[in-house]
Structure 1
Amino acid sequence: MSALKVSQIRGKLLAMFEPHLDVADIGVTDKERETKILSRSLAALAIYLEAGCTEKEAAESVWDGADDNGIDAAFYDASTQRVIFVQSKWIIKGAGEPEAKDLGAFVQGVKDAVEQDATSFHPRLHARFSDIALRTSTPGTSVEIVVVSTGASVLAKHGQAVLDKFTAELNGDDPEPIAHSVTYGLSEIYSGLANDLSLNNVTLDATILDWSYISAPHPAYYGVIDGLSLKEWWKKHGKSLVSSNIRHALGSTEVNNEIRLSAASFPQKFWYFNNGITLIANDVAKAPAGAASRSAGVFSFKGASIVNGAQTVSSLAKVDDTPLGQVRVPIRVIVLKDAPAEFGQEVTRTNNLQNRVEPRDFVAQDPEQKRLRQEMAIEGIDYQFVRSDDVVATATSCELVEVTTALACATGESGHAVQIKTGIGRFFADLKKPPYKAIFNPSVSGAKAFNATVLLREIDRWIDSKKLTITKRSGPRWGILIHGNRAIAAAVMTRYGLSKLSEPIATFTRDLDLASLHAHCESAYTAAVATIETTYPSKFLAVLFKNPSMTKAVFDSAV
């Protein structure tokens, strides 16, 4: 039976991905040509299923070939802020799995990507490697390691241990893990191809409370649904539930964490806090109800897809059942049966046009920010703290994110530098308490905020120039410039003199001693490298600089 499934999968894989794959390096007379193409197609399929991207995008993410350092495909999924790394193996018999040594080579390749070490990758991959490496170094980005084969769905002990050890090392002590692994075997591949996300063949059974009906110009239902029902939808259908959405579930974002927290802590208030979900469905069947009751209607929506609210549903799926029974979520369903062909796409597009409100947007209501803007304006500086596409950082202007980063590095200790590397969004999660209040409070003047920003810009320029002097882009001397840039900045600011930051902007700018600053940069950098080489010689630097105690040890040595 397994061999039969492999045979059935073969044709569909080739049809989906071969036209888009780069197979120029596989000779026409190569006896393993088809196996190699199928292996690449399998890697593309893993990306396609995980990210919900197009077949062409998935095929273009394939790295497989000479000197790929064990990575067969790599893809940055912007919707989930996640880098997906894939190793694939085509097994004709439909049984077996990748060997532990191959998995070891794979995780080493991923480690090199995270550490931005390109030495083991073929020059043909360097452009794509640089893009992926940059993504992995961005705070908030997670890493997903996918092993896919037409074999076992569960890896043997030694193979799984390789993946578990690596993800544990990458996650370190972070309470919110940024890395995990997934294994796709023959069963998952077969199911994934049989239930292609693009087919939109989901049927959803729903009990809608306090429902109403709109008959024209297009039929629609609206009302309230309980959270437990939405969780069951997600468990049963997963990403197929959002096949028509322009975005899939975004994973562990701050907004989604807030959704889960609200549902778990204040289930009876959830309706007041949430915008609800919108579905489109090709058709609907409704169970008969006595006396035209609108208190509860039982529906079956065919060809259904969530076009707005994917984050709500996927987040509720991670909440315990008990509070979900009390959660009520606004819902509306638009039926497309007699609508024009393009109407469903219009609904999807217009329901996703709203500008997303981010935690940082509430900074605009903080009097401290307005005070800082006024104080900077008096000295001729334009402080832009309201989110806008027109923000430009110049010698006479600055914006919220860089000011936050600069002030976090100017506290005289390393803790806030760690939080910046973990994700700057944490500073805006709660404007009434640290870390936000630790750097934005009455003791911080507009001059200090801008002077710290000027100093950080100069330190970043030094770091960029230092990178150019390092020919071997690997090891602590390279990695500390990538992952330890904020810890280095914090140390250099302390060495240069934090008291100077409170000087008037004109005075600080006039007296800025670049030669002295660069000397401090070099000394702090040298000391930090020595500490890492001595104390943490084999530690993942991407993890080290998110660890408070380890970062403090490096910081203390560099001050």
Structure 2
Amino acid sequence: MPPRDEKIVQIEAALRNRFFPNVPKIIKQGRENWTEEQHDLDRLSRSLAAYALASQCELDDTTATGAITDGSNDGGIDALYFDRIGNRLVFVQAKYKKTGAAPTQADILKTINGVKALQARQFDRFNEAIRNRLDEIEDALDMAGVKLELLLTFLGDEVGSHVTTDLNAFRDELNRFSPVMTWYTTGLEQIYAWLVAEQAPATVDDQITLENWAGTTAPRKAFYGQISAAALAQLVEDHGKALFERNIRHYLGSVGVNTAIERTVRSRPGDFFYLNNGITAVAEAITPAPGNNLKCAFGLKNLSIVNGAQTAGAITIATLAGDISPDAKVLITIIEIGNDVDDIGRKITSARNYQNVVRGVDFAALDPNQERLRQELKVAGITYFYRSSAEARVRRDDTFTLEEAAVAMACMAFKVRASAELLQQPKPINAIDFVVAAKKEIGRLWEQGGTLYGQLFPAGLSGVRVCRSVRMYRFIDRILAGTEQSETGYHRRMFFRHGRYFIMAFVALRSADIINRPQLELVPADITLLSQRTNELSELIYAVTVPQQAFKGYLAMFRNLTDAQPLANSVLQRLAEQDAQQQAMQPATLPAQGT
């Protein structure tokens, strides 16, 4: 799980993306001289109120935003909603403070008095946002058995003792004759859990019809037979990517063999069954209807196609040109895996996909840690493609792939070590090992059975850290690529072409202050410092390499550990000398004079 400050970063990004377009700045009485920063925090508080209401009452964002009542004369009520299905009137008091401060006793007493005023029908005390909803409020107050719920939402963990005492006294007062009122809090952990849970992929529960089928029950239940290509395409259209949640790849688009599949299913439908490998699917439970072996319907719980995403995708694309002949059939195998306690689903996915041409990076999709990172990043509006797909090829500022993340982490996540440090036990992680691997055998970075992948993507790695590393990597790479293009000398051009990963490792070494900030974006101060450090370190490293130019080219120098590590030792020594000189140039602190 990410640390507290990174959770707040993701929550803020989600609130800005989802609610700010409909939560404008408002000028409250007595706050006409607020700064833009104060107005920004006010909008975040109102957005938090809307989100808490949306999550608690299962509302869409637009409806939740419309329930905001925060403003002058709001009676301490930031949002309210009459949940007619749940027969409850929900009041929200929200505080968006990064310190985690909860609503104060004064805040809560104001809210309590506001609820009491509504109960007493003293509506003239309230602002227009509340008066516009009097029909809704009065309907709730006149409804027998309605419950009043007071929700406190903030970025901390618990409210103060005085707040608890006041709220309990108010609750007890209303509950003298029957349980009418309750109050509860949603702090940072609950808010973050809601946001992440929203990003979990949907499960697919559906029914398909198999023709000419057979089955087995031991050692586990499985069925195989023919499914019509048209029915398969409809399944994909109905469920989209959720249908391929256990697959190592999504549909890669109309490229290569996929184009041939599209053409064959349309032009030779009767032969398609014989020319295609078919697909494999797993399901938590399979329930056959009382059909016969010629044709039978099967109910499938939590269905996922684990092999054959390209076939299914290509057939679906082919339907765009018109209806597919009913003669087009596809072989499908469906295996029941239950709750997958023995990880059989992953094993089936891995084994069945080894039969086709796939890249090593595709199997990283079987790591549940990658799905966790995707969900975390999606909370903040960042799309992380850890499965190959057609969409993943389009590079945008708010998207990146597993491959790019792996290279960025290899260059930015570890400390450059001198040879003497590497003699320690246990041996410390060394950035040079990773940048050499990225230059020489980049596939080792995402090799599931290798030693590097687990260090690049440990269980504790946060989405914010990955995103920040990718953005730093992209920025530095643009600087170094631009420098390479501008160089006219052969040696310098080759240095900037082949030494980029090595240079980045040293920029990261000198930029812990930037790397460790819990922010998604690089602010102007970060960009200035990174640009300056990249240029300075590039020149320093180049100067260290000059004596080696006569003996070895830069490609060999940066892709072999036997050359790169001694070079790193020399650069570290040069940096230490540079730091010592700068420290010596600083004025000494004068001792205090005695009396």
Shorter-chain TM-score: what band?
0.3 to 0.5
Rg larger in 1 or in 2? 2
TM-score, normalised via structure 1 length: 0.36
TM-score, normalised via structure 2 length: 0.34
